[in-house]
Amino acid sequence: MNRRDAVRMALVAGVALATGAAGPKGKVNAASLVRPGDPVYGNPHGQVTIIDFYDIRCPPCRAMNKRIHKLIETDHDIRYVPVEYPILGPAGMLATRALYAARMQGGYRRMRALLMSQKPVPTPALMQQDATQLGLDWPKMQAAMAGPQVAAEIAANLARGRALGIHEIPAMYIGPVKVVGGLTSADLRSVVAQAMREQRGK
Per-residue pLDDT at 97 exceeds 70: yes
What rounded mean pLDDT belongs to the chain? 89
Asked if pLDDT for residue 22 goes beyond 70, the answer is: no
- The residue length of the chain stands at 202
Distance of alpha carbon 115 from alpha carbon 106, whole angstroms: 15
HSE (CB half, 13 Å, CA atoms) of 131? 27
For residues 130 and 99, is the Cβ–Cβ distance under 8 A?
no
- Name which residue leads in pLDDT, 1 or 45: 45
DSSP 8-class letter at 121: P
Residue 55, classed as helix, strand or coil, is: coil
What would the pLDDT profile of 151-166 be if each residue is shown by its tens digit? 999 999 999 999 999 9
67/174 Cα distance (integer angstroms)? 14
Q: What is the DSSP letter of 145?
A: H
> What local confidence, expressed as pLDDT, does residue 24 receive?
41
pTM: 0.86
| pLDDT at residue 27, as a whole number | 65
Q: How far is CA 35 from the centre of its chain?
A: 13
pLDDT at 194 over 80: yes
Question: What pLDDT, in 10s, does the model give residues 29-71?
Answer: 999 999 999 999 999 999 999 999 999 999 999 999 999 999 9
Contact 6, 184 (CB under 8 A): yes
H helices of the chain, in order, are 3-18, 30-33, 59-74, 90-103, 108-115, 124-133, 138-145, 148-163, 185-200
The Cα–Cα gap between 198 and 173 comes to: 14
- Whether the CB-CB separation of 131 and 141 falls below 8 Å is answered with yes
Q: Tens digit of pLDDT for each residue in 110-135? A: 999 999 999 999 999 999 999 999 99
pLDDT of 18 > 70? The answer is no
Does the pLDDT of residue 15 top 70, yes or no?
Answer: no
Residue closest to 22 by CA, chosen among 182, 181, 164: 164
